[in-house]
Amino acid sequence: MKRAIPAVISAATALALVLAGCGGGDEPVDPNAPVTITLAGWSLSSTPEFKALADGFKATHPNVTVELKEYAPGNDYDTQMITDLAAGTAPDVYVMKNLKNFYTYQSGGQLLDVSDATSGLGSSPALASYQVDGKAYAVPYRQDSWVLFYNKDLFAKAKVAPPDGNWTWDDYTDAAKRLHTGLKGAGSNATGAYQHTFQSTVQGFALAQTPNADLLSGDFGYLKPYYERSLDLQAAGAQPTFGTAKTNKLTYQAQFGKQQSAMLLMGTWYVATLLNQRQSGDADTFQWGIAPAPQFDKSTTGTSATPVTFGDPTGLGINPKISKSKTAAAKAFLQYAAGPDAGKALAGIGITPAQVTDAVTATLFGLAGVPQDDLSKFAYAKHTVKPENPVSKHTAGLQNLLNETHSAILSDSKGVDAELSKAQARAKNEVLNQ
Amino acid sequence: MSRNTVAGWSFILPNFVGFAVLTLLPVVVLFYVAFTNWNVFGVAEWTGTANFRRMWDDASFWTALRNTVYYTVFHIPLTLAASLGLALLLNRKLRGVRFFRTVAFFPYITSIVAIAVVWNQLFSPEYGPINALLGAVGVDNPPGWTTSSTWSMPAVIIVGTWRYMGYYMLLFLAGLQTIPAQLYEAAETDGATPWQRFVHVTLPGLRHTTFFVTVLLTIESFKVFDLILVMTGGGPGQSTLVLSQYIYQKSFEENQFGYASAVSIVLFAICFSITVIQFMVNKRRNS
């Protein structure tokens, strides 16, 4: 026994030395040598975009293999990624699902400066979100924006005129109510609209559209008219209440896809979901269309103007712990993913790339099952997209408390004013002073 | 070192290493992190008692603490009564008693997510059977349950009690088996009523079990997390936000690991002191 212990220790030491030897040192860079870079993704079997990017890049860079590493979907993605980055086991290239955690990654030194991969990407608000002190720390490859999906069949059934691109929120509210009455009269149980339980469905539009609205100011008065309209629609029965949606775990996919609601405000990612669900039978087949999101006032309505909406870009950044021999390949991958070729590849599977060009619009509207009317194309291609999560140290904290405010107002409201002033006091005392 | 010592150490070492790395070390680190400002990346910055001073002025912390106490104060007596009642009921020689015991234990082994989904539907203010029943017996304004900031906590407490009563029933059943049958026979001979037998034989006989159950319930109630997270997510508003969820929010959602650790220490201190008090009271009663 006594002799065994030193033997075990020396064996362990030898093994440790061998392992350490494997990890050390960067090989010299040879542009044609085979390289494998790892890329983080989530729900790989049902999210084809990562494979589309990996395959598309391989076509132009045959020596580079992009290996996918699966992460948890939803909010757990960031938790898992932050843990892996802190532990030093994260992949070479990783995705930022939205802007909420960009500050954490960037200020924590977890993103490589990728300014030299941004040439040819032009200047877009999406790219600007990732720039700090003139340097870019990620590139956008996807940019969803929120639009209005509507069911043409249900509009016809209720004898209500479909959206024409000129809607303000008052027009939308009015249509939802008339749909409610019309559908009821026609013997349908469908509601005029469905507003999912996300805080974005109210707050995202209010922040993007209201002149001078600023999340970081801690002044949330701009939310008031948007909440009043939501409460009005709930009270009129024109949309399921927040409580019903929560307690019955309603999904927006089923509400719109199964024709339970005539209108749905949602991000453009829903195009791909709806197409897939129609194929699998999870959604009905009906005539549908896309219209611009209702606007704050008439100044941004109509197809000659540019509607204002919101949406965070989805970005790709490089883990600073990447080995030097792989950096060039990783940067080339970023440049590809944010560029026009990847844009077309993404549009081909129903995903909205960061740069919507005419070619991208043509590709997406060439897919079977996508509506062909001009308003749908306009709504998809033309708008000003403002970030839902302006990049700041305080964003995560403010969004968390506004999420609580959202559920408080929409459930058994103690009054919009009271909840908003409470939120303002909390923002000042608990977040902005930190 | 003797041969025996080495052998002894080698037996406990694997287990101890696991405990040290996965439990002991994180706890020690937590006590350090609580005095720092740390967002997971890079070096933790020492800030002394700043996190604790911040808590003093943090309205959300006090809300979470108040809600935790609210849950605990109602959850403990309700679960004690329900589980003891069940145990007494199922300690008799009934037909199919094993079946009923299993049924009572079922909620405890059911997935918490399934429980939340089903109970949320039962509680649904518009379509749920609970409010339909209340309406049928003449309640004009049935509560909004999980959609109302007044009723969300009672709803969570009801589900919490329902979920845990089977487990504590099992402990009480075990306790009941240890009370000698002669005591009941003697009491019966002396003409004691069933209530007198319960108060003078059963309750004293169960004292150790009750104490153990109360300590477990206290700790479990103070650190309630999963049930509330999946049922209400702390809402509506902050009406069901509890301390453990607040810790989760500050750490994993807002990356303020220093502050979250400080709140964890407060939660630990509360659980620890109440348990110590319970032990002291119990000791005095025993002597």
Cβ–Cβ of B41/A408 closer than 8 Å? no
8-state DSSP, B237:
T
pLDDT of the residue at A249: 87
Reported as a pLDDT band with limits 50, 70 and 90, residue A31 is: low
pLDDT tens, residue by residue, A289-341: 999 999 999 999 988 999 999 999 999 999 999 999 899 999 999 999 998 89
Q: What percent of chain B has pLDDT over 90?
A: 63
Does residue A242 sit at the B interface (CB-CB below 8 Å)? yes
Statement: residue A3 has pLDDT above 50: no
Q: Using an 8 Å Cβ cutoff, are A361 and A367 in contact?
A: no
Of A30-39, A61-70, B51-60, the poorest mean pLDDT is in A30-39
Euclidean distance between CA atoms A409 and A419, whole angstroms:
7
Statement: residue A131 has pLDDT above 50: yes
Statement: residue A10 has pLDDT above 90: no
pLDDT of the residue at A1: 39
Statement: residue A413 has pLDDT above 80: no
Sign of CA dihedral A360, A363, A369, A373: positive
By C-alpha distance, the chain B residue nearest A433 is B54
Chain A closest-CA separation from residue B152 CA (Å)? 11
Q: What percent of chain B has pLDDT over 70?
A: 100
pLDDT tens, residue by residue, B119-163: 999 998 888 899 899 988 988 888 888 888 899 999 999 999 999
H/E segment holding residue A214: none
**What DSSP assignment string belongs to A143-181?**
E--EEEEEEHHHHHHHT-PPP-S--BHHHHHHHHHHHHH
pLDDT tens, residue by residue, A204-254: 999 999 999 999 999 999 999 999 999 999 999 999 999 889 888 899 999
Euclidean distance between CA atoms B259 and B248, whole angstroms:
11
Task: Tell which residue, A400, A137, A108, has the closest CA to residue B40.
Answer: A108
The contacts of residue B274 (CB under 8 Å, 6+ apart) are: B218, B222
By C-alpha distance, the chain B residue nearest A402 is B237
Statement: residue A55 has pLDDT above 90: yes
pLDDT of the residue at B255: 87
The contacts of residue A215 (CB under 8 Å, 6+ apart) are: A207, A389, A390, A395, A398, A399
pLDDT of the residue at B39: 84
Statement: residue A19 has pLDDT above 70: no
Q: A95 to each of A253, A388, B189, how far by Cα in Å?
A: 24, 17, 77
Statement: residue B168 has pLDDT above 90: yes
To the nearest 10°, report the CA torsion of A272, A274, A275, A279: 130
Chain A closest-CA separation from residue B175 CA (Å)? 39
pLDDT of the residue at A192: 95
What is the bridge-based pairing of β-strands A191-194 and A288-292? unpaired
Reported as a pLDDT band with limits 50, 70 and 90, residue B252 is: confident
By C-alpha distance, the chain A residue nearest B233 is A404
pLDDT of the residue at A169: 96
A159-163: long-range contacts, CB 8 A cutoff, minimum separation 24: A162/A289, A162/A291, A163/A289, A163/A291, A163/A292, A163/A375
**What is the token pair recorded at A335?**
């440049």
Helix axes B257-286, B25-33, angle to 10 degrees: 120
pLDDT tens, residue by residue, A381-394: 999 999 999 888 89
By C-alpha distance, the chain A residue nearest B240 is A404
**What is the token pair recorded at A188?**
């349908």
Query: Which among B237, B239, B249 has CB closest to A400?
Result: B249
Euclidean distance between CA atoms B96 and B93, whole angstroms:
9
The average pLDDT across A146-162 equals 95
Q: Using an 8 Å Cβ cutoff, are A310 and A385 in contact?
A: yes
Chain A partners of B249 at a C-beta cutoff of 8 Å? 400
Q: B274 to each of A414, B42, B221, B278, B279, how far by Cα in Å?
A: 35, 36, 12, 6, 9
The contacts of residue A417 (CB under 8 Å, 6+ apart) are: A224
Chain A partners of B150 at a C-beta cutoff of 8 Å? 412
- Residue B69 sits at φ, ψ, to 5 deg, of -65, -40
The average pLDDT across A121-134 equals 86
Q: Using an 8 Å Cβ cutoff, are A27 and A325 in contact?
A: yes
The average pLDDT across B253-275 equals 93
pLDDT tens, residue by residue, A276-301: 889 889 999 999 999 999 999 999 99
pLDDT tens, residue by residue, B49-93: 999 999 998 999 999 999 999 999 999 999 999 999 999 988 888
Q: What percent of chain A has pLDDT over 70?
A: 92
Euclidean distance between CA atoms A71 and A74, whole angstroms:
10
Cβ–Cβ of A412/B40 closer than 8 Å? no
Q: Using an 8 Å Cβ cutoff, are A310 and A387 in contact?
A: yes
Q: What percent of chain A has pLDDT over 90?
A: 68
Cβ–Cβ of B59/A241 closer than 8 Å? no
To probe the interface with A, which of B45, B67, B147, B239 has the most A CB atoms within 10 Å?
Answer: B147
Q: Using an 8 Å Cβ cutoff, are A69 and A38 in contact?
A: yes
What angle (nearest 5°) sits at the alpha carbon of residue B191, between those of residues B187 and B194? Answer: 70
Chain A partners of B40 at a C-beta cutoff of 8 Å? 82-83, 86, 104, 108
Cβ–Cβ of B59/A108 closer than 8 Å? no
Q: Would you tell me which residues 403-422 of chain A have a C-beta closer than 8 angstroms to some C-beta of chain B?
A: 404-405, 407-408, 410-412, 414, 419
Backbone torsion region of residue A249, taken as left when φ is above 0, otherwise alpha when ψ lies between -120 and 50, otherwise beta: left
Cβ–Cβ of B253/A396 closer than 8 Å? yes
B/e letters for B225-247, b = 16+ CB within 10 Å, e = fewer, are eebbbbbbbbbbbbbbbbbbbbb
**What DSSP assignment string belongs to A18-64?**
HHHHHH---PPP-TTS-EEEEEEEESTTT-THHHHHHHHHHHH-TTE
pLDDT of the residue at A16: 45
Please list the residues that pair with A290 across neighbouring strands: A149
Residues of B at the A interface, defined by Cβ within 8 angstroms: 3, 6-7, 39-42, 54, 57-60, 117, 120-121, 123-128, 144-150, 233-239, 241, 249, 252-256
pLDDT tens, residue by residue, B192-219: 888 999 999 999 999 999 999 999 999 9
Chain A partners of B114 at a C-beta cutoff of 8 Å? none
Chain B closest-CA separation from residue A186 CA (Å)? 23
Average pLDDT, rounded, for chain A: 88
Query: Which among A1, A75, A411 has CB closest to B147?
Result: A411
Statement: residue B183 has pLDDT above 50: yes
Query: Which among B42, B59, B239 has CB closest to A108?
Result: B42
Does residue A75 sit at the B interface (CB-CB below 8 Å)? yes
Q: How many CB pairs under 8 A join A and B?
A: 109
Reported as a pLDDT band with limits 50, 70 and 90, residue A5 is: very low
Of A44-58, A191-205, A214-228, the poorest mean pLDDT is in A44-58
Cβ–Cβ of A411/B252 closer than 8 Å? no
Q: How many helices (H) and strands (E) does chain B have?
A: 15, 2
Euclidean distance between CA atoms A337 and A359, whole angstroms:
16
**What DSSP assignment string belongs to A248-298?**
TT--HHHHHHTTSEEEEEEETTHHHHHHHHHHHTSS----EEEEEPPBSSG
Does residue A92 sit at the B interface (CB-CB below 8 Å)? no
By C-alpha distance, the chain B residue nearest A410 is B236
Of A81-95, A157-171, B94-108, the poorest mean pLDDT is in B94-108
Peptide bond into A390 cis (omega under 30): no
Reported as a pLDDT band with limits 50, 70 and 90, residue A20 is: very low
Euclidean distance between CA atoms A293 and A284, whole angstroms:
23
